[in-house]
Amino acid sequence: MEKPYVIGMDMGGTNTVFGVVDTRGNVISKSAVKTSSHPEDINLYINDIYVELMKLIEAAGGIEKFKGIGIGAPNGNFYTGNIEFAPNLPWKGVIPFSKLISEKFGIPAALTNDANAAAVGEMTYGAARGMKNFIMITLGTGVGSGIIIDGKVVYGHDGFAGELGHTNAIRNNGRLCGCGKSGCLETYCSATGVARTAREILESTKQDSLLRNVPVEDITSKDVFEAAMEGDEVAKEIFNFTGKILGESLADFVAFSAPEAIVLFGGLAKAGDLILNPIKENMEKNLLPLWRGKIKLFFSDLKEADAAVLGASALGWEI
């Protein structure tokens, strides 16, 4: 029987989005569940996925119409199909996720890092189409990265190459990261990192700010964005601080792979020029002269979930 569909699944620290994808790369239908709804038992979480995804599968003609399931997940290992020691997920240790999903649905499943999946989606369907050397930076609950060199994802010898979110942005007295290290880029330039910066700045200054209308422990990156759009100087300072750290790190990343472009993707990218301008300024300032003015820096033009869903779905065709 012809199998005209695959499933692409993007597991984020907050939400897991999945979609039915056809042979032309169209996302036919899409739904989502909360990733951390069952921190006590991953099987309950998988059951949530099953209930929601089967609605899409049945609407598309049943599971026999599907070739496979491709999954993008934090710390997903392309070689083993395991999620291994993901700091932003509630389940610790090594999880044989592709095996669990395959057994649940009765069709083959393959897995890669969520940022790698986003990079493949961007290269195939997005603004990086035709590019063979670029870096995808995902700015969500954490900071992920997918590195494309000569048109191929860089996996390294163990499947975990490209963990740029866990490079040291601050060497001394940096913030403690969920991975156990201190000063990781993720602790400053993720959505949660922006919220941490907001709390620190508000506690260290008496300057008036719209953010003081929100209980300090409840501030989110969305609150910071909304305040900045209202002209709030503290909120703009938070984005400038975040952009400075990310721009400096991107200059370092350029030095080892000389990409044609760096593509920014994820929830924090919605801040637009508030975050893009300080990133670009500080990246350019810290690049070696031979790369200044040569590296393109832009936001993904795919819908927020589609790049990762489409990238992950590509694995489903290859199974």
CA nearest to 108, candidates 256, 224, 6, 241: 6
Domain membership of residue 19 (yes or no) is yes
Look at residue 305 in the predicted model and tell me its pLDDT.
64
> What residue type is assigned to position 34 of the chain?
K
In the chain, the number of structural domains is 2
The residues, ordered by sequence, that sit 6+ positions from 235 with a Cβ below 8 Å of its Cβ are 198, 209, 210, 211, 224, 225, 227, 228
Do residues 190 and 143 lie in contact, with contact meaning Cβ atoms separated by under 8 Å? yes
Whether residue 85 is found in the same domain as residue 213: no
Look at residue 282 in the predicted model and tell me its pLDDT.
98
Which of helix, strand or coil describes residue 289?
helix
Whether residue 78 is found in the same domain as residue 192: no
Do residues 33 and 49 lie in contact, with contact meaning Cβ atoms separated by under 8 Å? yes
Q: Which domain holds residue 176?
A: 131-299
Whether residue 219 is found in the same domain as residue 292: yes
Whether residue 309 is found in the same domain as residue 295: no
Domain membership of residue 125 (yes or no) is no
Do residues 199 and 192 lie in contact, with contact meaning Cβ atoms separated by under 8 Å? no
> What residue type is assigned to position 118 of the chain?
A
Domain membership of residue 15 (yes or no) is yes
Per-residue pLDDT tens listing for the chain (319 residues): 789 999 999 998 889 999 999 998 899 999 999 999 999 999 999 999 999 999 999 999 999 999 999 999 988 999 999 999 988 799 989 999 999 999 999 999 999 998 898 898 888 888 899 999 999 999 988 899 999 999 999 999 999 999 999 999 999 999 999 889 999 999 999 999 999 999 999 999 999 999 999 999 999 999 999 999 999 999 999 999 999 999 999 999 999 999 999 999 988 988 999 999 999 999 999 999 999 999 999 999 887 667 888 989 988 988 8
**What is the rounded distance in angstroms from the CA atom of residue 217 to the CA atom of residue 310?**
35
**What is the rounded distance in angstroms from the CA atom of residue 235 to the CA atom of residue 164?**
26
Whether residue 261 is found in the same domain as residue 201: yes
DSSP one-letter code for 269: G
Whether residue 144 is found in the same domain as residue 43: no
Look at residue 178 in the predicted model and tell me its pLDDT.
87
Question: In 10 A of CB 109, how many CB atoms?
Answer: 23
Query: What is each CA distance from 212 to 85, 203, 217, 242, 307, in whole angstroms?
Result: 36, 10, 11, 20, 35
pTM above the 0.95 mark?
Answer: no
Query: What is each CA distance from 189 to 23, 142, 216, 256, 279, in whole angstroms?
Result: 36, 8, 19, 20, 11
Whether residue 34 is found in the same domain as residue 54: yes
Kind plus residue range of the DSSP H or E element containing 17: strand 15-22
Query: What is each CA distance from 258 to 47, 133, 144, 149, 244, in whole angstroms?
Result: 43, 8, 18, 9, 20
Q: What is the CATH classification number for the domain harbouring 58? A: 3.30.420.40
Which two structure tokens, joined as six digits, stand for 260?
């044609």
Whether residue 154 is found in the same domain as residue 263: yes
